Amino acid sequence: MFRPEDGFPLSEIPKAFAAEIGDTVVVRADADTLTWEQLHRGSNRMAWGLIAAGAAPGRIVTLLLPNSTDLILSAFACYKAGATPQVLSPRMTPAELDAILELGDPAVVVVEPDGPVADRAGAVTVIGLGDGQPDTDLEPRIAPSWKAPISGGSTGRPKIIMSGRPAVTSGSDPGMWGIERGEQALITAPLHHNAPFATALSTIFLGGSVILLTRFNAERTLSAIDAYGVTWVYLVPTMMRRILALPDEVRSRYPLESLRSAWHCAEPCPTWLKRRWIEWLGPERLWELYAGTEAEAGCTIRGDEWLAHVGSVGQVTWGEMKLLDPDGAEITEPDVAGEIFMRVTPGTDATYHHIGAEPHIRDGWSSLGDMGRFDADGYLYLHDRRSDMITVGGVNVYPAEIEAALVEHERVLTAVVIGLPNADTGNHLHAIVHTPESGGATETELRGFLADRLSRHKQPATIELVHQSLRDAAGKVRRSALRAARITEESR
């Protein structure tokens, strides 16, 4: 079967596989399916429609679309038009969306006909994009960037992270995620996040099939694995927790025999949760990845390695990383914390360039703001973000340690610790804890739970229980916004 070599135009992927396996389903999203032939011909029509609407080589096309077959069609239509697809959440606030569109200056904005931004001025609907257009092939075009995800990142200001790789195939993305040729991949999260987009598209580039969940559901995830012979699945720890919360008799209905590997990333995974998944799936099938959207460098770790280095995110598997102290001196001894800096391996091409806010850079090394340490074997352990540090009575406290302790409680979904003004100590620690609406942990339970896990100066002075997600539409925790809202509330 056809296998694209590095440098093959992404615009030509559907045509190449359609010629060999045209009737094979390449994308599923709920009841909708898309074969390779439909992907090829449909993306041709949409590409002609994009060009008529103003898309041109080198320009961004913004796709305000949920997980769907239309989203995959639109992404390949962008490649065929020579444009870079940028998938954004249709549920972004108007202010967030306006800021990103001003930065990216997209040639076209594509929306759902009945979606939350359907009436956006100048936008075209995905349904009408290919109407009246031919399905004939276009001359191959190669966009200068194959993706354009967004991030507020460590700066808190919006930025677009333009991939440094043009719209051609490369072994780097599927390689870092362990994606193999012909994979059956289940993508459980929205494609407006970088990792789900990169892994879904990488699977398709290698001739595999993708199952897109349009909305996460714990049991649906397990049933989809068995129903479609899924071999590779993307998860985040919140999803892992919800799957484990299913009754044993429900989980036992699904043997998951086809599953070769389950990957998680995006947020810290509590030790108890990771151990239980390893016990359930076996250590060889559970993987974790740590990297920034910029992908200059990253770490991966398999379950059996993790058992020997509990709490680690792995060894550096691509690019380079080092730790610097507050004065900029490199830390070389093991188990000493510092700020994590990354760069591509010297002599290789840049993996990205920014539009908007710039990262923290020292002598060609960039930082995401994360703090961490390496052990004597070169395994990395994350501590917190530099910008998240809270000073309480002259003592520096990193919220991640407190948050990690809180989410060890099985009835805590997420926790965010912020510093609120205090006349005596400068700041006091305030924990915002997301629990289920029924059967969630109480404040008294949590205080007892933390008593033997954290030293006294790390104990939250106040605990706030909430029943809604602490992440925004981009999947980010905006500490500054959470803090500002509570300071405003206190001042009333």
Q: Residue 253: exposed, middle, or buried by beta-carbon count in 10 A (0-12, 13-18, 19+)?
A: exposed
Using alpha carbons, select from 131, 38, 141 the residue that is nearest to residue 80.
141
365 and 452, same structural domain?
no
The predicted structure's pLDDT at residue 204 = 98
**Is 3 a member of any domain?**
no
Which of these three, 374, 401, 429, is where a domain ends? 374
**Is 4 a member of any domain?**
no
The predicted structure's pLDDT at residue 153 = 45
Q: Residue 20 to residues 24, 91, 129, 200: CA-CA distances in angstroms?
A: 9, 38, 27, 21
Strand ranges for 236-351 from DSSP E: 261-264, 286-291, 298-302, 315-318, 320-324, 330-331, 338-343
Q: At what angle do helices 194-205 and 69-81 cross, to 10 degrees?
A: 70
201 and 114, same structural domain?
yes
**Is 234 a member of any domain?**
yes
Q: What are phi and psi of 84, to 5 degrees?
A: -100, 120
**Is 379 a member of any domain?**
no
410 and 362, same structural domain?
no
413 and 367, same structural domain?
no
> CATH no. for residue 250?
3.40.50.12780
394 and 310, same structural domain?
no
353 and 441, same structural domain?
no
240-279, pLDDT tens digit by residue?
988 998 999 999 999 999 999 999 997 778 888 999 999 9
Range of the domain at 396: 390-491
User: 47: left (phi > 0), else alpha (psi -120 to 50), else beta?
Assistant: alpha
The predicted structure's pLDDT at residue 389 = 72
365 and 480, same structural domain?
no
CB distance 183 to 175 below 8 Å: no
277 and 219, same structural domain?
yes
> CATH no. for residue 481?
3.30.300.30
DSSP 131-199: TT---PPPPP---S-S---EE-TTTTS-EEEEESS-SB--SHHHHHTT--TT-EEEE-S-TTSHHHHHH
Q: What are phi and psi of 341, to 5 degrees?
A: -115, 145
Which of these three, 374, 404, 427, is where a domain ends? 374
User: 132: left (phi > 0), else alpha (psi -120 to 50), else beta?
Assistant: left
368 and 268, same structural domain?
yes
**Is 5 a member of any domain?**
no
Which of these three, 330, 348, 374, is where a domain ends? 374
SS3 283: helix
**Is 2 a member of any domain?**
no
Q: Count of domains in the chain? A: 2
483 and 342, same structural domain?
no
Q: At what angle do helices 399-407 and 443-451 cross, to 10 degrees?
A: 110
Using alpha carbons, select from 367, 320, 311, 194 the residue that is nearest to residue 301.
311
Q: What are the 10-residue block averages of pLDDT along the chain, 492 residues in total?
A: 93 98 97 98 98 96 97 98 96 83 95 88 90 96 96 62 95 94 96 95 98 95 98 92 92 97 88 94 97 92 97 96 93 94 90 78 85 96 74 73 87 91 83 88 93 84 92 72 83 57
**Is 382 a member of any domain?**
no
314 and 252, same structural domain?
yes
394 and 370, same structural domain?
no
